[in-house]
Amino acid sequence: MGIYLDYAATAGMSAAALAAYCAAAGVSGIPCGAPDRVIGNPSSLHAPGRRARQIVEDSRETIAECLGANPSEVVFTNGGTEANNLAIKGAFLAAKDKNTILVSAIEHHSVLEPAAWLAQYCSANLKQIPVDKHGIVDLAALKKEANNDVALISVMLANNEIGTIEPIGEIVVLAREKQIPVHTDAIAALGQIPINFGELGVDMLSVAGHKVGGPAATGALLVRRKMRLEPLIHGGGQERGLRAGTQDVPAIAAFAAALAEATTELAAKTAKIAKLRDELVASILANIPSATLEGPPIKSGQRLPGNALFTFAGAHADDLLLLLDLAEIAASTGAACTAGVTQASHVLLACGVSEQAAHGALRFTLGPNTTQAEIAHLCAVLPGIVAQARKATLAR
């Protein structure tokens, strides 16, 4: 079956999520067959509609409980990208008297690109805040830019590539002094570290279901009741009027089931994952010359437990991924692919990694199903794979 070490990309749908999906779709048993009963539109007033509404609201309560929020603060979306777009565009468009957006230089493209769109089409003043070599946002630079013209600060809770956990609490304190709303993209952090919306103090927080074993097209934006947002999708009053459209009842139920399972006994689960990650890191650094662990140090407490991203000098990520795939090992690269042309990761470049080194980036992300035997096998074959990749790079 191979070894899967790309949980940061997606976790795959869990058995609990699939069971909840089938039940909410009115189907008995797995695999799903023909519906036993109709689950209606949640906005309808008849019995099938009321059943659907109950499932949606029960799921909303479950997700709120898992994330330390009030149910009324959970706005369902069609995934994390939509949640980030709603936060960035919605907050800016609602703040008609403010023109500046502050984001960190290592945000996911689903934050950077909506912000860039606002700069291009709505004359927003977009400013990227630098980070240090570990990917931690420069608080002094952020404070310098924070003023009464800022409509929104958006800094991710944890980075999806190098696993950096950002000082969101300090950012919130800084923002409150200027009465600036704060959004955090918590998609990479979901299921990796505890998340409590109330305690974080942010005004908006994005999550995605598929990171914890839910369906791919599910997500939510947690929004404080006082936060003003302009909806991006119009046509109905669903989701507090912030996201029009009929809710996907089975998918929402599956998202809630997956999140509840993922956050149960989270500390024990992540401790096991971190132990395996530490073994992986120690082996690679000991056995592969010139391998560099990018991001925060392992023991710093500032890194997601399942994350390990390396750059391998003299090797190209495409060759590394191909050779790993031939060995039936699934990993990913720190580079983004745009229009078929591989580009160096903006995250690594922002951290001061050279473009040449960034092209040799390889990310391993562990999950709840990762085993010690899988890590041992990877560590056994990886030195040879890196050596082959380096030869291929020299031959280019």
pLDDT per position as a tens digit, 241-259:
999 999 999 999 999 999 9
Instruction: Output the pLDDT for position 34.
Output: 58
Angle at 226 between CA 225 and CA 232, to 5 degrees: 75
Specify the CATH number of the domain 265-394: 3.90.1150.10
pLDDT band at 394 (very low <50, low <70, confident <90, very high): confident
pLDDT band at 1 (very low <50, low <70, confident <90, very high): low
Instruction: Output the pLDDT for position 164.
Output: 98
At residue 380, what is the residue type?
A: A
Residue 339: pLDDT over 80: no
Instruction: Output the pLDDT for position 31.
Output: 59
What is the enclosing helix (H) or strand (E) of 125?
Answer: strand 125-129
pLDDT band at 340 (very low <50, low <70, confident <90, very high): very low
Using DSSP, state whether 348 is helix, strand or coil.
helix
Q: Where in the chain is the domain with CATH 3.90.1150.10?
A: 265-394
Residue 334: pLDDT over 80: no
Residue 338: pLDDT over 50: no
Cα gap 95→101, rounded to integer Å? 11
**Is residue 248 within 8 Å of 51, Cβ to Cβ?**
no
Domain 15-263: CATH architecture, name and number where available: 3-Layer(aba) Sandwich (3.40)
Q: Where in the chain is the domain with CATH 3.40.640.10?
A: 15-263
SS (H, E, C) 268-312: HHHHHHHHHHHHHHHHHHHHCCCEEEECCCHHHCCECCCEEEEEE
Cα gap 292→332, rounded to integer Å? 16
pLDDT band at 26 (very low <50, low <70, confident <90, very high): confident
Give the list of residues 6+ apart from residue 35 with CB closer than 8 angstroms, or none: 25, 26, 27
Instruction: Output the pLDDT for position 188.
Output: 98
Which residue numbers are catalytic? 337
pLDDT band at 33 (very low <50, low <70, confident <90, very high): low
- Once rounded to an integer, what is the mean pLDDT over residues 105-110? 98
Give the list of residues 6+ apart from residue 322 with CB closer than 8 angstroms, or none: none
Residue 176: pLDDT over 80: yes
pLDDT per position as a tens digit, 268-303:
999 999 999 999 999 999 999 899 999 999 999 999
Q: Which pTM does this prediction carry? A: 0.95
Q: Cα dist. 377→12, 315, 373, 374 in Å?
A: 22, 21, 6, 5
Cα gap 10→362, rounded to integer Å? 16
Residue 18: pLDDT over 60: yes
Bigger pLDDT: 38 vs 124: 124
